[in-house]
Structure 1
Amino acid sequence: MFTTRPTLQGTFGMVSSTHWLASQSAMAVLEDGGNAFDAAVAAGFVLHVVEPHLNGPAGDVPVILAPAGGRVRVLCGQGPAPAGATIAHYRSLGLDLVPGTGPLAAVIPGAFDAWMVLLRDHGTRTPAEVLKYAIGYAEHGHPAVERITGTIEAVRELFETEWTASAAVWLPGGAAPAPGSLLRNPDLAATWRRLLAEAEAAGPDREAQIEAARRTWREGFIGEAIAAHAARPAMDSSGERHAGVLTGDDLAGWSAGYEEPVTYDWRGWTVCKAGPWSQGPVLLQQLALLDGGLPGALSGVISPEGLGSPEYLHALIEASKLAMADREAWYGDAAEVPLAALLSPEYNAARRALIGDRADPALRPGSPDGRTPVLATHAGRTTPAGDPGYDAMGIGSTAAGAPPGTGEPTVAPTGEMRGDTCHVDVVDRWGNMVSATPSGGWVHSSPVVPGLGFPLGTRLQMTWLEPGLPSSLTPGRRPRTTLTPSLALRDGEPVLAFGTPGGDQQDQWQTHFFLDVALRGRPVRGGPDLQGAIDAPGWHQDSFPSSFFPRATRPGSVTVESRAGERVIEELRRRGHRVTVAAPWTEGRLCAVARDPETGVLSAAANPRGMQGYAVGR
Structure 2
Amino acid sequence: MTFTTRPTLQGTFGMVSSTHWLASQTAMGVLERGGNAFDAAVAAGFVLHVVEPHLNGPGGEVPAIVATVRDPAPRVLCGQGPAPAGATIAHFRSLGMALVPGSGPLAAVVPGAVDAWLLLLRDHGTLRLADVLEPAIGYAGAGHPLVGRVGETVAAVQSLFEEDWHTSAALWLRNGSPPMAGEMFANPAYARTLRRLVNAGRTVGADRETEIEAARRAWREGFVADAVDRFSRIPFQDSSGRPHAGLVTGADMAAYAASWEEPVTLDWHGYSVAKTGFWGQGPVLLETLSILDALDDPRGYEPATAAGIHAQVEALKLAFADREAWYGDGDVPGKLLLSAGYARDRAALISARASTELRPGRPGGAEPRLPARVVAGAARRAGLDATTGEPTVRADGVTRGDTCHLDVVDRWGNMISATPSGGWLQSSPTIPELGFPLGSRLQMFWLEEGLASSLAPGRRPRTTLSPTMVHRDGEPVLACGTPGGDQQDQWQLPFLLRHLVGGQSLQEAIDAPAWHTVSLPKSFYPRDMEPGVLVVEERLDRDVLAALRGYGHEVRLSGPWSLGRLCAVARDPGTGLLSAGANPRAMQGYACGR
Q: What TM-score comes out, normalization by structure 1 length?
A: 0.94
Q: Which amino acid aligns with 2:351?
A: G
Aligned-pair CA distance for 1:413: 4.4
1:397-431 CA-partner distances (Å, limit 9, x unpaired): 24xxxxx5233332224554334000000000000
Q: State the match for 1:524 in structure 2.
A: none
Q: Distance in 2 between matches of 1:300 and 1:450?
A: 56
Q: State the match for 1:484 in structure 2.
A: 466
In the alignment, is the contact (CA less than 8 A) between 2:303 and 2:494 conserved in 1?
no
Q: Which amino acid aligns with 2:100?
A: V
Matches within 5 A, 1:373-452: 373-384=368-379, 387=380, 389=381, 392=383, 397-398=384-385, 404-452=386-434
Are 2:584 and 1:602 equivalent residues in the alignment? no
Q: Which amino acid aligns with 1:271?
A: V
Q: Cα–Cα, structure 1 residues 199 and 31, in superposed 2: closer, same or farther, change >3 Å?
A: same
Q: Distance in 2 between matches of 1:407 and 1:505?
A: 13
Q: State the match for 1:17 in structure 2.
A: 18
Q: State the match for 1:581 in structure 2.
A: 557
Are 2:349 and 1:351 equivalent residues in the alignment? no
Q: 1:310 aligns with which of 302, 306, 309?
A: 306
In the alignment, is the contact (CA less than 8 A) between 1:82 and 1:250 conserved in 2?
yes
Q: 1:503 aligns with which of 469, 485, 488?
A: 485
Matches within 5 A, 1:286-305: 286-294=288-296, 299-303=297-301
Q: Distance in 2 between matches of 1:145 and 1:301?
A: 41
Q: 2:181 aligns with which of 179, 182, 201?
A: 179
Q: Distance in 1 between matches of 2:346 and 2:455?
A: 29
Q: Which amino acid aligns with 1:125?
A: L
Are 2:460 and 1:460 equivalent residues in the alignment? no
Aligned-pair CA distance for 1:195: 1.9
- Count of aligned pairs: 592
Q: State the match for 1:89 in structure 2.
A: 91
In the alignment, is the contact (CA less than 8 A) between 1:561 and 1:583 conserved in 2?
yes
Q: Distance in 1 between matches of 2:561 and 2:70?
A: 38
Aligned-pair CA distance for 1:496: 0.2
Q: Distance in 2 between matches of 1:150 and 1:215?
A: 36
Q: Distance in 2 between matches of 1:312 and 1:272?
A: 23
Q: Which amino acid aligns with 2:350?
A: I
In the alignment, is the contact (CA less than 8 A) between 1:414 and 1:581 conserved in 2?
no
In the alignment, is the contact (CA less than 8 A) between 1:415 and 1:559 conserved in 2?
no
Are 2:62 and 1:61 equivalent residues in the alignment? yes
Q: Distance in 2 between matches of 1:458 and 1:91?
A: 18
Q: 1:141 aligns with which of 137, 140, 143?
A: 143
Q: Which amino acid aligns with 1:40?
A: A
Q: Distance in 2 between matches of 1:180 and 1:410?
A: 24
Q: State the match for 1:341 in structure 2.
A: 336
Q: Which amino acid aligns with 1:572?
A: L
Q: State the match for 2:249 in structure 1.
A: 247
Q: State the match for 1:41 in structure 2.
A: 42
Q: Distance in 1 between matches of 2:23 and 2:526?
A: 32
Q: State the match for 2:327 in structure 1.
A: 331
1:180-212 CA-partner distances (Å, limit 9, x unpaired): 110111111111112211221112210111001
Matches within 5 A, 1:362-381: 362-381=357-376
Q: Distance in 1 between matches of 2:189 and 2:303?
A: 49
Q: Which amino acid aligns with 2:513?
A: P
Q: State the match for 2:538 in structure 1.
A: 562
Aligned-pair CA distance for 1:450: 1.7
Q: Which amino acid aligns with 2:415?
A: M
Q: Which amino acid aligns with 1:530?
A: L
- What's the secondary structure of 1:380's corresponding residue? helix
In the alignment, is the contact (CA less than 8 A) between 1:224 and 1:248 conserved in 2?
yes
Q: Distance in 2 between matches of 1:537 and 1:122?
A: 37
Aligned-pair CA distance for 1:245: 1.2
Q: Distance in 1 between matches of 2:416 and 2:31?
A: 13
Q: What TM-score comes out, normalization by structure 2 length?
A: 0.98
- What's the secondary structure of 1:315's corresponding residue? helix
Q: Which amino acid aligns with 2:488?
A: Q
Q: Distance in 2 between matches of 1:283 and 1:406?
A: 25
In the alignment, is the contact (CA less than 8 A) between 1:382 and 1:554 conserved in 2?
no
Q: Which amino acid aligns with 1:173?
A: N
Q: Distance in 1 between matches of 2:372 and 2:488?
A: 25
Q: Distance in 2 between matches of 1:458 and 1:321?
A: 26
Q: State the match for 1:525 in structure 2.
A: none
1:4-33 CA-partner distances (Å, limit 9, x unpaired): 111000000000000000000000000000
Q: 1:268 aligns with which of 252, 267, 270?
A: 270
- What's the secondary structure of 1:96's corresponding residue? coil
Q: Which amino acid aligns with 1:89?
A: H
Percent pairwise identity: 61
Q: Distance in 1 between matches of 2:440 and 2:480?
A: 25
Q: State the match for 1:77 in structure 2.
A: 79
Q: 1:319 aligns with which of 312, 315, 324?
A: 315
Q: Which amino acid aligns with 2:64?
A: V
Q: Cα–Cα, structure 1 residues 415 and 351, in superposed 2: closer, same or farther, change >3 Å?
A: farther
Aligned-pair CA distance for 1:548: 0.5
In the alignment, is the contact (CA less than 8 A) between 1:408 and 1:445 conserved in 2?
no
Q: Which amino acid aligns with 1:50?
A: V
Q: Distance in 2 between matches of 1:37 and 1:563?
A: 38
Q: Distance in 2 between matches of 1:220 and 1:54?
A: 26
Aligned-pair CA distance for 1:307: 4.1
In the alignment, is the contact (CA less than 8 A) between 2:102 and 2:526 conserved in 1?
yes
In the alignment, is the contact (CA less than 8 A) between 2:49 and 2:58 conserved in 1?
yes
Listed as ranges, the gaps of 5+ residues in structure 1 are 399-403, 522-527
Q: State the match for 1:360 in structure 2.
A: 355
CA RMSD after TM alignment: 1.1
Q: Distance in 2 between matches of 1:137 and 1:40?
A: 16
- Give every structure 1 segment of 4 or more consecutive aligned residues whose post-TM-superposition deviation is greater than 6 Å: none
Matches within 5 A, 1:107-146: 107-146=109-148
Q: Distance in 2 between matches of 1:423 and 1:594?
A: 15
Please say which of residues 186-195 and 88-97 is displaced more in the overlay.
186-195
In the alignment, is the contact (CA less than 8 A) between 2:394 and 2:558 conserved in 1?
no
